[in-house]
Structure 1
Amino acid sequence: MVSMASMLTQLQTKLAQASQYMAKHGGARYKQLLEQNKQYIQEPPTIEKCQMLANELFYTRLASIPGRYESFWKEVDYIKYLFKNRQEMKLENAGIGVLFGLECLTWFYVGEIVGRGFTLTGYHV
């Protein structure tokens, strides 16, 4: 079993390597990233401009809620229709629905495990 001290030493080594890499290549990578994405940069790049864009994003998303709400209820109505007429449903569509449900359930369980710190029982060893 690996001791905590050796794990801490390994972590410190990895952090030192990452820090050295960023010190050596970080500036060039930063400039390259900005150059590749310059079409997304708003001028002037100030705090006020960033705040204005954050407000635009927030209120645009807020304004999109009624449309998303309507789309949600259309989907619910379609599911109700499918259940009402399930005799006409093809096996392929039912299989896709079951697989989608299993995928959602799996992501829920994975999220729960991650939320508990990657433990299956909830207790840390």
Structure 2
Amino acid sequence: MQFTIHQRFFFDAAHTLDRAIETESSRRIHGHTYHAEVSITGPRHEGSGMVSDLGYLRQRLDQLREQLDHRFLDEVEGLGKPTLENLSLFIATALADLQPAPSRVRVWREGIGDGCVLDLTP
């Protein structure tokens, strides 16, 4: 039996993008409130009754939030171009050492209705 647990966090950040559409507004520094959800899938451990301790996951997400919150994403080391796809991958990579590792990372900007899901299941 497999269970999937989730934890969410949010951060406010600015960025620029070089795009073929909406070019002028995208190239200017602008900001968003980003939401992220990390999912972990695995069996329930007999001793704890949990897939993973969500308290530990919250600690790790707090560390990630510090790297991203109120930052200029163009300058975050290891992120690359500040796209939703790269943010999803950045979060997954930062948490890859968790046991079990994340099975899914979702990043979205609720204010404008867009988002990205990175499915990490084999």
Which structure is higher in helix share?
Answer: 1
Larger Rg computed on CA atoms? 1
TM beyond 0.5? no
**TM band (smaller chain):** under 0.3
The two structures have a TM-score, normalised by structure 1, of 0.22
Q: What's the TM-score, normalizing by structure 2?
A: 0.23
Structure number with higher relative contact order (C-alpha < 8 Å, ≥ 6 residues apart): 2
